[in-house]
Chain A
Amino acid sequence: MKRRIFIIIPTILILLFLPGCWNRRELNTLAIVQALGVDRTEDGEISVSLQILKPSAIQSSTSDKASGSKSVWVVTSKGETVFDAIRNASLQTDRKAYFSHNTVYVFSEALARSGISDELDLFSRDSELRQLPYVFITRGKAEDIIRSDYEQEKIPGQAIEKLAKVSFAASKVPKIQLIDLLKNFASKTNDSIIPGIELVQEDNKEPSEESLKLEGTAILKRDRMIGWFDAKETRGVLWVLGKVKSGIIDIPTPGNENKKSGIEIIKANSRVVPEISAGNLFMTINVHVDANLGEEMGNTDIVKPERFNELENRMGSAIKEEIERAVDKAQNWDVDIFKFGTEVHRKYPKEWPELEKNWREEFKEIQVTILVDAKLHWSGYLNKPILPNTSEGSG
């Protein structure tokens, strides 16, 4: 018994000390950051906007936004470096910013045009910041995106994250996490793409009713942004990268050229095959697409062999056109966003060191062949249009 007491008393004493440690953080001392925006001010300082969760506001109600209390609070602070700016935020917040639950990074175009690798350094070096949040570039100020409100979700930061996650449905913007960027930056030849995010204001509504929208794709040469790709060009890039998961392709309906039909992409994959012959670099992009007829406008009896095949062919050339546009533009800007360099390295390790030295010039000269193997499978619940077009006939 005596021995047991000798064991129990120190155990309890140790227990008193163990739970409290140097890096103890209680929930009520943390300012949980949901989204982070980085701008550069006119005098060259870094300005960081933090979207901080208000736990009390989340708890109070689940659905009434009408009560007026916002569930997040945005703090903007400035500093010489990103870390400095973040720590300067503690002069305004009574709690220390905590980044482990951050879901979104937003950069302004102005900042991105002068290179973002310096700003990203902290996000990959610090133990609290993670590499899985999504990255966006906005044409305006990142602060405005962070400050914006969102109808569907209580926390705008999470809304932006979910926007990125459902972006696959249209395949018109890429889905880029910080880790993808870091991997591209570390490789010697890859260039990167980052989705754009905008505030859109509808004409007949009040200025306060702005909403967020993903639009366009920022193209980065190494870490410097050089321009935007529109939706079609972006999908061209995504086809090559094999990142198209779903989406709609609009093509003129065979038999009624003024109207369009929508093809729903079900599955797509791609393979890029480099070829060196006679000192020239050739690149063959094989894209295989499985799709269904999703919508038909024009009331033609489309589920007939010749029309269905025509539709299939047009779909193939529509995809080919998208890819061509993307490749042309990328070769004009000499940005290897398709990771062609990596493919060449894999197939021609011997020739690669020579090619790598002057990869941008080589990339411009690549002769690209695009082979699209598009397959149209099903037509949904309908096999004939509901309103048959009798005046023209179905011929």
Chain B
Amino acid sequence: MLENAKITPRQFIFVLVISRIVIAITFFPVFAGPPGNQDVWISEVLSLPVHLLLTVPFYLLWKRFPKQSLFEYTQTILGRTGKAVTLLYVLYFIHELSIFLYEWCAFLTTAIMPETPVLFILLFLFPFCAYAVLKGIEVISRFAEFIAPLVFGGILVIFLLLAKDMDFKIFTPVMEKSMISILAGAFVMGLRTSEIVVLAILLPHLQLNSKKTKLVLLSGYSLIALFWLITTISVLATLGIEFSKTLQFAYFSAVRLVNIGDFIERIESIHLSIWILSGYLRIILYFYCILIGLSQIVGIKDYKPLVLATLTILLPVSLSYQSNISDLNEFLSYTIVSWVNLIFIVVIPSILLAVAFFRKLGETNA
């Protein structure tokens, strides 16, 4: 293990949950996949078992190597070729981070600051990322613990403020399409959760006896499903299904509708503040993962010298990703992103697991 950092279970859960739900409060991608109608909430409930299922390969790997992170046990299992797998994951994280930075810029330049150059937004962001990452994973997870009440509270407040305009009839008829499409929707949602890979890196830091880890995962995924439900209800019940589908930033559009007695209105700033905070957490979390992986490949104990170098690579990479919104929407559609994530969440760890099993590596009695 690189650092001797410790993460408490609560911090661990918050890191995962906030980093995942920030996508829901930006792009609201539930409609992109099946079932694409009023039954998406069922898919969201079903995402809980799907998430648990998708975590199984990484969970079993961690059971075998409880003291090692993803980047370390690749080398334990595969030897020198393991470095190639590590590199693959580093590239995956760079890709995920660049995509998110793209989303970050897309939202800021569309909704709030249409004339501010993207380069400026990123240049302003990066020093703060560097600062956070230099402080280590303990600080990042404490940051998550610190902002969690704000983020969760903000989403709840927005839900309550929108409650007046909600029409719950929108959720009928229930189960209009087949159960298969609803289940497929749950899988698409689960496969968007690249945090499962992050989990493989953070698990060795978790300060908990290993029996309770299942409980931590379960409560983390339940929280994700819960906040998905809250945001979905906020959006669907206020905007209706067909109209929500036409919106680029559906949750933000719903928040813009808050008006209680001409007195409480224009509360977009609440959404924006929780969005900036949670988006920032996601960025530094992925950045941290990239650095850990890189330092493993290079073979140095401390990742700190790599921070600035990585940032200078990340800036042009993320800028080169940014072409226009139609490309982004096309790429983030479930038909592409699910398969990419499937490889990294299920296929590669399963292969690793199989190799570890046949070479009888790690603790098998667990």
In the complex, which residue of chain A has the Cβ closest to the Cβ of B120?
A: A22
Partner of B173 from A132, A182, A345 at Cβ < 8 Å: A345
Question: In whole angstroms, what is the CA distance A346 to B112 when docked?
Answer: 38
- Cross-chain contact B173 with A22 (CB below 8 angstroms): no
Residues of B within 8 A of A386 (CB): none
Give A391 Cβ to nearest chain B Cβ, in Å.
Answer: 52
B247 CB to nearest chain A CB (Å): 8
Residues of A close to B259: CB separation below 8 A: 132
Which of B51-59, B74-82, B181-189, B238-246 contacts the other chain? B238-246
Q: Are A23 and B172 in contact (CB under 8 A)?
A: no
Contact B114 A186 (CB under 8 A): no
- Docked-complex contact A346 and B243, CB < 8 angstroms: no
Q: Mark B245-270, 1 if CB is under 8 A from A, else 0.
A: 11000000100110100000110000
**Cβ–Cβ contact A23 & B243, under 8 A:** no
| CA gap between A21 and B112 in the complex, in Å | 12
- Which residues does chain A contribute within 8 Å of B273, judged by CB atoms? none
The CA-CA distance from A48 to B256 in the complex, in Å, is: 25
Report yes or no: B176 in contact with A127, Cβ–Cβ below 8 A.
no
A33 to chain B minimum Cβ distance, whole angstroms, is 16
**Considering the chains assembled together, what is the distance between the CA atoms of A130 and B111 in angstroms?**
12
Q: Are B176 and A186 in contact (CB under 8 A)?
A: no
CB distance from A361 to the nearest CB of B (A): 22
Chain A positions 312-358 with a Cβ under 8 Å from a chain B Cβ: 345-347, 349
Q: Which of A100, A130, A347, A349 has the most CB of B within 10 A?
A: A349
Q: Does A226 contact B (CB under 8 A)?
A: no
A30 → B minimal CB distance (Å): 15
**Given A187-B242, A346-B173, 10 other A-B residues pairs in contact with their CB atoms under 8 A:** A22-B115, A22-B120, A179-B257, A183-B243, A186-B242, A186-B243, A187-B240, A187-B243, A188-B242, A345-B173
Contact: A186 with B246, CB < 8 Å?
yes
Whole-angstrom distance from the CB of B28 to the nearest CB of chain A? 15
Known: A132-B257, A188-B242. A23 touches B111 (CB 8 A): no
Cross-chain contact of A23 among B115, B239, B257, B265 (Cβ < 8 A): B115
Q: How far is the CB of A64 from chain B (nearest CB, A)?
A: 26
Query: What mask results when residues 289 to 325 of chain B are scored 1 for a CB within 8 Å of chain A, else 0?
Result: 0000000000000000000000000000000000000
- The reply to whether B245 and A22 form a contact with Cβ atoms under 8 Å apart is no
A131 touches B (CB below 8 Å) = yes
Q: Which chain B residue lies CB-closest to A346?
A: B172
Asked if A22 and B240 make an inter-chain contact with CB atoms under 8 angstroms apart, the answer reads no
- Asked, given contacts A21-B113, A22-B113, A23-B114, whether A349 binds B240 with beta carbons under 8 Å apart, the answer is no
Which of A100, A127, A131 has a CB less than 8 Å from the CB of B114?
A127
B-contact 0/1 string along A197-228, CB 8 Å cutoff: 00000000000000000000000000000000
Judge whether B116 and A183 touch: CB under 8 Å. no
Closest to B249 in A: A127
Name the B residues within 8 Å of A23 (CB-CB): 112-116
- Asked if A22 and B116 sit within 8 Å, CB to CB, the answer is yes
Residues of chain B within 8 A (CB-CB) of A182 are 243
Contacts of A22 in B (CB 8 A): 113, 115-117, 120
Q: What are 15 A-to-B residue pairs whose CB atoms are below 8 Å?
A: A22-B113, A22-B116, A23-B112, A23-B115, A127-B111, A127-B112, A130-B256, A131-B253, A131-B256, A131-B257, A179-B257, A183-B240, A183-B242, A345-B173, A346-B169
Question: With the chains together, A177 CA to B172 CA distance in Å?
Answer: 24
Give bound CA distance, A131 to B243, whole Å.
12
Q: Evaluate contact between B239 and A183: CB separation under 8 angstroms.
A: yes
Which residues of chain B have C-beta atoms less than 8 A from A188's C-beta? Answer: 242
Question: Across the interface, which residues of B come within 8 angstroms of A100, CB to CB?
Answer: 266
Residues in B with CB closer than 8 Å to A130 are 256
Identity of the chain B residue whose Cβ is nearest the Cβ of A165 in the assembled complex: B262
- Expressed in whole angstroms, the minimum distance between the Cβ of A303 and any Cβ of chain B is 37
Across chains A and B, which 7 residue pairs bring their CB atoms closest together, nearest first? Answer: A186-B242, A186-B243, A349-B173, A22-B116, A349-B176, A346-B172, A183-B240
Known interface pairs A22-B113, A23-B114, A130-B256; A186-B240 also in contact (CB < 8 Å): yes
B135 to chain A, nearest CB (A): 17
How far is B172's CA from A349's CA once the two chains are assembled, in angstroms? Answer: 9
* Interface assignment of B110: CB less than 8 Å from any CB of chain A: yes
In whole angstroms, what is the CA distance A23 to B169 when docked?
41
Which residue of A has the minimal Cβ distance to B171? A346
**A186 CB, min distance to chain B CBs, angstroms:** 4
Q: How far is the CA of A187 from the CA of B169 in the complex (A)?
A: 15
Which residues of chain A have C-beta atoms less than 8 A from B120's C-beta? Answer: 22
B297 to chain A, nearest CB (A): 35
Mark each residue of chain A from 19 to 59: 1 if its CB lies under 8 Å from any CB of chain B, else 0.
Answer: 00111000000000000000000000000000000000000
**From residue B236, how far is it (CB to closest CB) to chain A in Å?**
11
- Chain A residue at minimal CB-CB distance from B165: A179
Measured in the bound complex, the distance between the Cα atoms of B115 and A179 in whole Å is 26
Q: Mark A284-295, 1 if CB is under 8 A from B, else 0.
A: 000000000000
B116 & A21 in contact (Cβ 8 Å cutoff): yes
Which residues of chain A are near B239, meaning CB under 8 Å? 179, 183
B246 contacts which chain A residues (CB < 8 A)? Answer: 186
Q: Name the CB-closest residue of A to B262.
A: A165
Point out the residues of chain A lying under 8 angstroms from B245, CB to CB. 186
What 1/0 flags go to A100-112 for Cβ under 8 Å of B? 1000000000000
The distance in angstroms between the C-alpha atoms of A345 and B172, with both chains bound, is 9
Shortest CB distance A240–B (Å): 15
Cα distance, A188 to B111, chains bound together (Å): 28
Q: Give complex CA distance A347, B169 in Å.
A: 11
Most buried by A among B112, B169, B243, B257: B243
In the complex the two chains form, what is the Cα distance from A347 to B172 in whole Å? 8
| Chain A residue, CB-CB nearest to B174 | A349
- Which residues of chain B in 96-127 are interfacial with respect to chain A, using CB atoms and an 8 Å cutoff? 110-117, 120
Q: Inside 8 A of B266's CB, which chain A residues have their CB?
A: 100
Residue of A nearest to B253 (CB): A131
Q: Report A-chain residues with C-beta under 8 Å of the C-beta of B111.
A: 127
- Shortest A318–chain B CB gap in Å is 29
Could you tell me the distance in whole angstroms from the C-beta of B347 to the nearest C-beta in chain A? 37
| List of B residues within 8 angstroms of A349 by Cβ | 173, 176
Residue of B nearest to A126 (CB): B114
Q: CA A346 – CA B174 in complex, angstroms? A: 9
Distance (whole angstroms) from the CB of B144 to the closest CB of chain A: 26
Instruction: Report the nearest A residue to B167, measured CB to CB.
Output: A183
Chain A nearest CB from B125 CB (Å) reads: 14
Q: Considering the complex, give the chain B residue whose CB is closest to the CB of A187.
A: B242
Q: Roughly how many angstroms separate A354 CA and B127 CA in the complex, as a whole number?
A: 58
Chain A residues whose C-beta falls within 8 Å of the C-beta of B253 in the assembled complex: 131
For the complex formed, measure the closest distance between the CB of B215 and the CB atoms of chain A, giving whole angstroms.
39
In this complex, what residue of A is CB-closest to B243? A186
Do A347 and B173 contact each other (CB < 8 Å), given the known contacts A22-B113, A127-B114?
yes
